Amino acid sequence: MRLRSKGQLTVPVEVREHLGLHEGDEVEFVIQGNTVHIVRAKNNNSHGSRVAARLRGRGSSGMSTDEIMDLLRGED
């Protein structure tokens, strides 16, 4: 494995699959002596939460919030 000029590494697919890591997951580096451990970040949200966060604010219905709420309440 080679360290790139910007300090980036590619985590091999076997390691990602074993740890259940997906694009956007956060990891932490834990240093113990001369050894570095890569672990899933403790504050990592669920995959669904990350997807929802990426989609937030992207939709456009052309309706105001009040109009949408009226539709949900069944008001005309």
Q: What is the pLDDT of residue 32?
A: 95
Give the pLDDT of residue 21: 87
* The pLDDT of residue 44: 56
Token code pair at residue 70 = 């009226």
* pLDDT, block means (10 residues), the chain with 76 residues: 90 89 86 92 71 74 84 81
**pLDDT score of 43:** 67
- The structural architecture, per CATH, of the domain 1-52 is Ribbon (2.10)
CA separation for the pair 42, 25 (Å, rounded): 11
Residue 69 to residue 75: CA distance in whole angstroms? 9
Cβ(19)–Cβ(41) below 8 Å: no
Fill in the DSSP letter of residue 43: T
What integer pLDDT is reported at residue 23 of this predicted model? 85
Domain-wise residue ranges, the chain = 1-52
Measured distance CA(47)–CA(15) in Å, rounded: 18
pLDDT of 76: 63
